[in-house]
Every structure is written in structure tokens, then in C-alpha cells.
Chains A and B, each alone.
Chain A
Amino acid sequence: MFTQKSSFILLGAFIPFLYFLSPNWFEIEGVGPSWALLWLLPLSLEKGPFAGAFGGLGLGLILDGFFLDGVTNIPSLVFIGYVWGLLALKGPSIKKSFNFGLLAFLGCLINGLFLWAQNIISFNINSLILFNASMLHTLLAQSIITALIAPMSSSLLILTFFRSKV
């Protein structure tokens, strides 16, 4: 009934549920992976920068609806989706397991820094307390767990949704 591409897009609509579910066995110190980036990585690498940016925009819109106001995912997801897509255009060698992990780690770090910066700017807290271990802890924990899952999830998603079955 669904094509491979439409099934993948439909899967993206369920990403917020993974955030809500926040399974404990995927967490480091109570911080789960960035499920959005795990979905965005195979899309960007397979379909290029514009599809990546558009996917980031779509997912960002959905996530912003589910999360608290004040901080948005959209700019970071669009940026990361676009950059990943550009890197994929350089050659097929980027689509290797280790590279998936590295890209996910860097992407998650950039995404976290975007969110961290927004927290500091939009909530205008009158001290440097936001530069404390809490945000850094979240940033590193999320980046590490995302990088650990990415090689498996990205390979699986690419094989399932972007390679035509023989």
C-alpha cells in the first residue's frame, strides 16, 4: 500500500512518540538519543541536501508542537539536514558505519549547541548559571548515545527504505 519512501516519511511522524516513550535502555544518565537526527541522517545521505533540509523542517515543525515553547528545533534540523546532504554528494564513502556514528555525533553536538544558545538567549536568565554542568551533561550524553545508535539505525533504515529489494 505504501511505497518505501512514503513509509519512511510516515515513520518520521512517529518520532515524537519515541521522545515521549523515552525507553530507559537507550539512555545515558537519564538522557535519551536525538531520535530526530537518527531519522534525518539516512534521509539526508540518500536524498541530498534539499530533501535533508525539507525533512528537517518538517520534523522540526512536528517536534515544536510537542515540546515546550521557547526553544525551536527547526533551524538546527534544517541546517544539519542540509549539511549532511552536501557531504553525501561528495561521494559514497561517507555511507559507512563509522561515518554514520561520527556524523550523528557532530550533528547532535551542533543541534544541542543551537538549543543551548536558544535557552540562554530566549529565557534571559540573569546569571551564567546556564553554562553549568547540567546543559553540558545533556549535550554530551545525547551526542554519545546518538552516535552509538546511529551506525545500526542508519544502516537498517537505508537498507529497509532506500534500497530497492532484489
Chain B
Amino acid sequence: MSLLRRDETFRWWYKKKIWFWLIVLLALNFIRINQGYLLADFYALISRPFWPSFAQKEWIKNGINLEHKIRLDLIQKDNDRLRKLLSLKSIDDENRISAAVISRNEKGFWNQLILNKGTKNGIQSGNIVLAPGGILGVIDGTTLTTSKVRLLTSPGSKVGVWIERSKSHAVLVGTSNNRPQLNFLDKNPDVKIGDVISTSPASILLPPNLTVGVVQFIDFDHLPAPYALVQLLSNPESMDWVQVIISD
């Protein structure tokens, strides 16, 4: 009798449809809790054949590159205009002369290159020589058709540079070694291994923002001032052509 009454009371409970919907609800809740984890993976699996092709990826990349190039060009023009207003040095494409390396003495007691262009082409002593990677050296002497480059590694080479990150100034001195020495003007320089060295944007002697090298070693204990060694980004041993930035 009591059994019958219980069956009667929980009759809805024993209905199979309720179990079914309860399981469905639990399953949905599981998906909700997992934030669609399995479903998204399943979708990715079945939609794989319809994913955008690599060609489309290339088009997007090209588009982004073009956009960056245009933006860089606009910023460069803006920068040049502002530098002219401040009477600071800037580099125009017309000021660059390509020259071939006709003699190379990057090792030995003299670290120099001879280029196939000279005063006839407008090159003067003190002009900066560039190679892929950054500054290679400075013109030290010229003839009518040749010019002599004092490499940054050469003893006697002294170039004012600054550390990109901390905006602190230093002098890069050649020591006949592959890695020139960076002498700091400050007793406690803000420098770390890996810092990029470039020419100062405020320089009135050198063209601005030309990369020089990367700091590889620092001796903070050296007296009277700390120094660092710089790995140059341009390599004179592999350069057959360089660019000379001539003065206006």
C-alpha cells in the first residue's frame, strides 16, 4: 500500500523524458563551464578544409607591410622636416654615394679601406661610410679618384655615440680589435649587455640614428670611468660595396 502511494507521489520522477532532459541540461552546463572548449575544438576539426589558405595570409602580410612602409615614409618625411627646422643633420638619399672597396686592410696595424671614389665625386674627409648593419668608418683622406676609410676598429677612430635605451652619451674608440671600446662620459652609466648603440639624433657632426653595434661586455670597475666593448653590426671583411654620406 505504501509502495503504491510512493509510486504515485513520484510518478513524474520515473518518467524517462525527464532523465533525458536532465542529462541534456547537464551536458549544456558542462559546455558552458568549459567555455565551449570541446565544441570549439570540434568545430576547428571539421572546418579545417575551409580555413583561409596561405595565399590569403600572404596577401594580408603584404598589405600590412605596405601600410608600414607608407607610414614609415610619412614619418621619415615628417622627421626630416622637423630636423631641418631645428637645423640638425639629416640624411637625404641624394647625399649617398655608392663606392666599391678596392683595397681592404681590416686586420694588421692599420684598419683601413680604400674606395674607388674621391673628391671628384664630392667625398671629403670626415664623411661617414655606411654598410649593411650600420656605420663602418669615417673618410680619413681623399685623392681625386680614391678615398681612405678609417674603420671604427682602427686605433685613432673616435666617434660620438649614444645608448638607445638610456639615452646616455659615450665615445666609441677603435683599439685594433674587432670589438671597439665604448668610453662613457658618466661615472655610473646606465648600460646593459645587449643595448643598441647608435649615433646621437642631436648630433650636428654625424648623421642621426645610424646603428653602430651592440654592447657585449661591460667593466663597471674600471678606473677612471667604466668602459664597454661593442660588437659592430657591419662587417668590413665581407663588404665589397659601401655608401658614403657626403656633406651638403
Contact = CB atoms under 8 A, between A and B. Distances in A.
A164 interface: no
A134 B178 contact: yes
Interface stretch (A18-26, A52-60, A86-94): A18-26
B192 interface: no
B181 A132 contact: no
Contact of A20 (B103, B111, B140, B183): B103
Contacts of A32: 108
A135 B153 CA distance: 12
A68 B177 contact: no
Contact of B175 (A19, A21, A134): A134
B160 interface: no
A69 B140 contact: yes
Interface residue range, chain A: 20 to 34
B175 A129 contact: yes
Interface in A8-29: 19-22, 29
Given A126-B224, A129-B181, A71 B109 contact: yes
B176 A130 contact: yes
A64 B215 CA distance: 34
B227 interface: yes
A126 to B, nearest CB: 7
B112 interface: yes
B156 A122 contact: yes
Interface in A81-119: 112, 115-116, 119
Interface residue range, chain B: 20 to 34
Given A68-B154, A115-B109, A122-B156, A135 B176 contact: yes
B37 interface: no
A127 B150 contact: no
B175 A132 contact: yes
B108 A68 contact: no
A31 B155 CA distance: 16
A119 B176 contact: yes
B114 A20 contact: yes
A134 B180 CA distance: 11
Contacts, number: 78
Contacts of A115: 109
Interface string B32-46: 000000000000000
A123 B178 CA distance: 17
B29 interface: no
Interface in B79-131: 102-112, 114
Contacts of B140: 68-69
A31 B175 contact: no
B236 to A, nearest CB: 11
B17 interface: no
A127 B114 CA distance: 29
A4 B150 CA distance: 38
Contacts of A130: 155, 175-176
A126 B107 CA distance: 22
B27 to A, nearest CB: 73
Contacts of A126: 183, 224-225, 227
Interface string B174-200: 011110010100000000000000000
Interface in A127-158: 127, 129-130, 132, 134-135, 138, 142
B222 interface: yes
B109 A123 contact: no
25 contacts: A19-B103, A20-B103, A20-B105, A20-B114, A22-B104, A29-B107, A30-B106, A30-B237, A31-B108, A32-B108, A68-B110, A68-B140, A68-B141, A68-B148, A68-B156, A69-B141, A71-B109, A71-B155, A116-B109, A119-B109, A123-B173, A125-B173, A129-B175, A129-B177, A134-B177
Interface of A: 19-22, 29-32, 67-71, 112, 115-116, 119, 122-123, 125-127, 129-130, 132, 134-135, 138, 142
